[in-house]
Structure 1
Amino acid sequence: MTVRGRSAYPELAMIPPFPAASPLLEFCPPLFAEFSERPNRRALLNHFCNVMSHLIVFREESGNPFQQLVLPLTQKSGSVMNAIYALASAHMEHQGVDHPEKSLYFHNRAIQSLGKLIENNGKVNRNEILAAIMLLVYYEVLVQRGQSNIVAVHLKGALTVMCANPDPTDTTGAFLERAFRFYDVIAALSNGTAPLSAAPGPGCLLPFPPLGAPAASPLSNVDTLLGMATTLWPIIHRLSDLLPIKRDYDLAVRFNDAQPRIDALRAEFESAASSVETALSQWQPHLPPNFVPDGDDLTLGIPAGQNTSNSSNDTTAPGITGNTEPAHPPMSSSERARLHSILHNALAYRHSAFVYLYRTVYSYPRSHHAVQSNAHEALVHCVATVAYAGPMGALLWPLFAAACEAVATEDRSLAERAFSAIRKRQGMMNIERAWEIVQEVWRRADWADVVAGLPDEGRGRNSMYNGNFEQEEAETDLWRQVSKDMGVNIVFG
């Protein structure tokens, strides 16, 4: 008996990077005269290449993938070019920099060009369509226009393109599919909906490096878009699918469906949730060769009960999977700092995934130890990520998920510190909006505690079966109600 329809779309191809030469054409990126005669448009390209492209990747020791793989598509695609203009212009506008041509103008041109590309799908490069769509996803995430669901629409369009041409034959296609997979899961977590694609199996996602990256790079186990969370991402994908399963079960109970169906849905949910919880408990990041985290960092990512001692002669950190390759040359201080930042980012995802599981999926009260301890650990890792001043482009979801549940003054101070740092570094509207929502969540949660006298300690894992899902969801996902009241729909990319 099939109790819940699964995605009709086939598993996306998760293939290793191609050993292809760079498609970058022979032009001088800092000047950008080959792209446009207009100085303001050359300035936008400069901003995209020299500012924005660095804010949204973890790894670029041999070049930035957006410059190496996406920028060359603009030579033949007006849609990709206008999407880049729109993205760069929106980022500059948010920072108070004005241009004679507004981001909305370029956005509309990109949409029009994309429509023409799709009409001629059989005659154009698949990567041009996919690149334009994914750049428009980045744009929508950045500008955060009200309660628009356009990100979901774009992602469905991207999946349609990929399913029509399921096997990318080059590095650019594989990179764009990796970008899709990231936003597919982030949008699902943001909206409380199921991902569009099927979860990749363990070991299917290999770290995607920039073109020309050396095999012995200190970043060899770091993915361009997922950092050290490559092996964690299939678990996060399955996590994002739990809330829709929970809703299916609750609706079956509420409308008194046949008992066999209710029992089957309950078994499906319990099995899926338990599997995710076990996988999160067992997961540890796989560190690059010759990298041992600082002693104070080790205890932060190790499950309770494991040995946290560290020796200067160790080749791997206790409790964290290491690499048995021969020793590599010593890293520079900047390389070590970057790796520490990437490591803490991945660990923040792990602990915030627990917060989401216990709070949103299992409906534990905010005061529950499992919620508070993981929220604290996630916020500590978020602060460490920004303290090491490494990549911060993917930090918003774990920071937001943990910050919304912060109760202690210390934890709220950690959240404020991390938000301040990524707002300053990234300069994006969704970060500003997320911080506003967190503060309002704190205000309402504190007031509810005052009214109630004491936090509700009586709810736990079995509360999901009381048949009052709307009330539970309002309590456990207060931030969704706050977002609705503020008239915004944030995607935490």
Structure 2
Amino acid sequence: MDRDAQFLLQRSTPEPASTPAAVGSTPGGSTAGVPALKRRIGLKRSRLGCLQCRQRRKKCQLQMPSCASCLQRNWACTYPSTSGGSTPMAARAESVEPPAAVESRALAPPADVRRVHELSPFAIEASKKALLYHFTATISDLISFPARQGARCDSPFLEYVMPLALTSPGAQADAQPGERKHVSDLLMLSLCAFAAAHQVGAGSGNPAAIEDASQAQLRYHTDAVKTLLSALNENPDAVALQPRDTGTEEGQTVVLASILVLVYYEIATGGDLVSIGVHLSGAYNIINSFLDSFFARMHSPAAPYMLSKKTVFLFKLFQYFDVISSLSQRAALIDHSMRLSNFLSTYSKLFEQAGVTPAPRRPGDVVIDPVIGLAKDIWPLVLRLCVICNKTYFGQVISQEASMEIDLLELELREWTLAEPDSDVEVISLHWAAKVYQAAALIYLIRTFSSRHAARSTNPPNPDEDIRVFIQIGLDGLSRVCTLDGNMAALLWPVLIIAQECKTVMDRALVRVIMDKLRRRQGMANVSKGLELVEHTWRGLPGQFVMFG
């Protein structure tokens, strides 16, 4: 197995780091006890950083034998060969690489990745291997929160999704020309389409590479959709999980993961809500099949059927998409019966009854949701906001019971708080990201249900005063997240909710800076389209909705 295949498998199933080193150390000495920023704002990236940092386009601290970023993620840190000094720092002065050469590598995979089709036992073609490398090294940390486990950081996409692509029959050998693609190729094709679309969105200064990625994006997306439609047409029961069949969960999980990756593809290409709605409806059919099987087996005399962690993770990912899509469009939830939401809210208790208990935590630790990278107790409040909006048709029909629910939710959102974070930069950033969600949820709630005050009082409060306060809280939190270079996996929805309410020139200028930071960090086309929508709102013009996730 060549080292690139080993890299992908290692990232999918990480092991504890074997080389002890201080994460906060620098090339010139140790800074023990002082937390280190992932990337210092304002410093230029080194041309001689390790291959992993250069592929991710991140600042490399140049420690030997492993830089802080690779050590934190338990990656194999590899430096390019140097002609001069014994260390990258010593060879920095000898580097005369022109800027054009640096830009041309933005979308180009490492040379070893381009040669993998000659060496890899998986026989994956070079273009696919390069795109999987891009997903593994770059995208996986941008669309989720890598949970810290000791000295390593595990992205849930690498822990749950990537192994499905690498162990499926479609990863062992590519189909011959003219041969019908197997349904197991679906996840591989979906990941390649998403990675290529992200390269197009994140690319700069390299028209030829962007054009190649654009063609690959269309080719892999077309193949993925054709493979999915072919599987469903030839076998309509392909997504039906039989209650007594215990061997099909893996296959159905592959299909569900593939559809959700295609949702990410649509977001990366602009966030078209029609296409996203079609994909989410298909994913919900598969989820319902899982739930039917789960409840049928609960009443069987055999041992209770437990869904795998990867399946539950995909359920939570679908729920996030469904909620954000509903709030973005002011449209009904796909899970309007709340079947999945009720299941997820009680499934943890079922795990505890089965003897599976969560890992112990230190007092004061913040529990992070890996799907959205937020404090776990803020997401249920956002979910309740979406449910109340659906019940009242987004403020059109407000019953007395609904009005009481709205008042209670507003009270909880106003009183919600987190303990003061410690000195860890990531925790501080997540703390402020949660405050941004809190401010956006309150703005959304006040603006949607402001009419209820007029019906109950002759002198109703002015909602604009409260909204101005929450705008400042939200912008302050966004500024801090940007300064700390924190996780931005799910920040577009609160950013746009806050941005649309900004009235002053200073606030709007700050929004543009934040949106530019978000666009450059995430590399998703829906960020640019979201800014266009905000600009139209500021001018009083109608805009086209995009997926705010």
Common fold by TM > 0.5: yes
Q: Do structure 1's residue 191 and structure 2's residue 329 form an aligned pair?
A: yes
Which deviations, in whole Å up to 9, do the C-alpha atoms of 1:70-102 show, x marking residues without a partner?
Answer: 011113221110110010000111234232642
- From the superposition, tell whether residues 64 and 277 of structure 1 become closer, same or farther in structure 2 (CA, over 3 Å): same
Counterpart in the other structure of 1:410: 506
Residue pair 1:404, 1:438 contacting (<8 A) in 2 also: yes
Superposed counterparts of 1:70-469, under 5 Å: 70-74=161-165, 75-76=167-168, 77-96=184-203, 97-99=210-212, 101-118=215-232, 119=235, 120-121=238-239, 122=241, 125-144=251-270, 148-166=273-291, 167=294, 169-197=307-335, 198=338, 199-200=341-342, 215=360, 221-247=367-393, 250=396, 266-285=399-418, 292-293=420-421, 336-362=424-450, 368-444=464-540
Residue pair 1:202, 1:234 contacting (<8 A) in 2 also: no
| SS across alignment from 2:375 | coil
- The farther-off stretch of 49-58 and 234-243 is 234-243
Alpha-carbon distance, 1:387 to partner: 1.1
Question: When the two structures are superposed, what TM-score results if normalisation uses the length of structure 1?
Answer: 0.67
- From the superposition, tell whether residues 344 and 249 of structure 1 become closer, same or farther in structure 2 (CA, over 3 Å): closer
Residue pair 2:450, 2:463 contacting (<8 A) in 1 also: no
- From the superposition, tell whether residues 227 and 237 of structure 1 become closer, same or farther in structure 2 (CA, over 3 Å): same
Question: When the two structures are superposed, what TM-score results if normalisation uses the length of structure 2?
Answer: 0.61
- From the superposition, tell whether residues 44 and 249 of structure 1 become closer, same or farther in structure 2 (CA, over 3 Å): closer
Q: Which among 153, 158, 170 is matched to residue 67 of structure 1?
A: 158
How far, CA to CA, are the matches of 2:486 and 2:312 in structure 1? 25
Counterpart in the other structure of 2:174: none
Counterpart in the other structure of 2:26: none
- From the superposition, tell whether residues 109 and 374 of structure 1 become closer, same or farther in structure 2 (CA, over 3 Å): same
- Report the number of matched residues: 368
Residue pair 1:117, 1:129 contacting (<8 A) in 2 also: no
Q: Which among 18, 43, 55 is matched to residue 142 of structure 2?
A: 55
- From the superposition, tell whether residues 219 and 204 of structure 1 become closer, same or farther in structure 2 (CA, over 3 Å): farther
| SS across alignment from 2:539 | helix
| SS across alignment from 2:227 | helix
Letter in 2 for 1:95: A
How far, CA to CA, are the matches of 1:233 and 1:274 in structure 2? 18
How far, CA to CA, are the matches of 2:537 and 2:310 in structure 1? 41
How far, CA to CA, are the matches of 2:322 and 2:13 in structure 1? 28
How far, CA to CA, are the matches of 1:421 and 1:248 in structure 2? 31
How far, CA to CA, are the matches of 2:483 and 2:328 in structure 1? 26
Counterpart in the other structure of 2:547: 491
Letter in 2 for 1:371: I
Residue pair 1:200, 1:234 contacting (<8 A) in 2 also: no
- From the superposition, tell whether residues 78 and 219 of structure 1 become closer, same or farther in structure 2 (CA, over 3 Å): farther
Residue pair 1:430, 1:490 contacting (<8 A) in 2 also: yes
| SS across alignment from 1:99 | helix
Alpha-carbon distance, 1:404 to partner: 0.6
Residue pair 1:376, 1:406 contacting (<8 A) in 2 also: no
How far, CA to CA, are the matches of 1:337 and 1:72 in structure 2? 30
Residue pair 1:140, 1:151 contacting (<8 A) in 2 also: yes
Residue pair 1:45, 1:84 contacting (<8 A) in 2 also: yes
Residue pair 2:333, 2:390 contacting (<8 A) in 1 also: no
Q: Do structure 1's residue 40 and structure 2's residue 101 form an aligned pair?
A: no
How far, CA to CA, are the matches of 1:239 and 1:37 in structure 2? 45
Alpha-carbon distance, 1:110 to partner: 1.4
- From the superposition, tell whether residues 70 and 229 of structure 1 become closer, same or farther in structure 2 (CA, over 3 Å): same
Residue pair 2:373, 2:489 contacting (<8 A) in 1 also: no
| SS across alignment from 1:239 | helix
Which deviations, in whole Å up to 9, do the C-alpha atoms of 1:235-263 show, x marking residues without a partner?
Answer: 2112123444444874x7xxxxxxxxxxx
Letter in 2 for 1:350: Q
Alpha-carbon distance, 1:423 to partner: 1.1
Alpha-carbon distance, 1:438 to partner: 1.3
Letter in 2 for 1:283: W
Residue pair 1:380, 1:414 contacting (<8 A) in 2 also: no
| SS across alignment from 1:193 | coil
- The farther-off stretch of 383-392 and 234-243 is 234-243
Note the residue ranges of structure 2 that are not aligned, 5 or more in a row: 1-10, 16-74, 77-111, 169-183, 204-209, 242-247, 295-305, 349-357, 454-460
- From the superposition, tell whether residues 391 and 204 of structure 1 become closer, same or farther in structure 2 (CA, over 3 Å): farther
Letter in 2 for 1:70: V
Which deviations, in whole Å up to 9, do the C-alpha atoms of 1:19-56 show, x marking residues without a partner?
Answer: xxx98499x99957455542222111111111111101
How far, CA to CA, are the matches of 2:412 and 2:14 in structure 1? 44
Alpha-carbon distance, 1:267 to partner: 2.1
Alpha-carbon distance, 1:405 to partner: 0.3
Alpha-carbon distance, 1:274 to partner: 1.9
- From the superposition, tell whether residues 38 and 219 of structure 1 become closer, same or farther in structure 2 (CA, over 3 Å): farther
Residue pair 1:24, 1:69 contacting (<8 A) in 2 also: no
Identity %: 27
Residue pair 1:195, 1:237 contacting (<8 A) in 2 also: no
- The farther-off stretch of 71-80 and 349-358 is 71-80
Residue pair 2:446, 2:463 contacting (<8 A) in 1 also: no
Letter in 1 for 2:322: D
How far, CA to CA, are the matches of 2:514 and 2:439 in structure 1? 16
Residue pair 1:185, 1:240 contacting (<8 A) in 2 also: yes
Which deviations, in whole Å up to 9, do the C-alpha atoms of 1:285-322 show, x marking residues without a partner?
Answer: 3x5xxxx437xxxxxxxxxxxxxxxxxxxxxxxxxxxx
How far, CA to CA, are the matches of 2:462 and 2:493 in structure 1? 18
Which protein has the larger Cα radius of gyration, Structure 1 or Structure 2? 2
- From the superposition, tell whether residues 204 and 418 of structure 1 become closer, same or farther in structure 2 (CA, over 3 Å): farther
- From the superposition, tell whether residues 346 and 144 of structure 1 become closer, same or farther in structure 2 (CA, over 3 Å): same
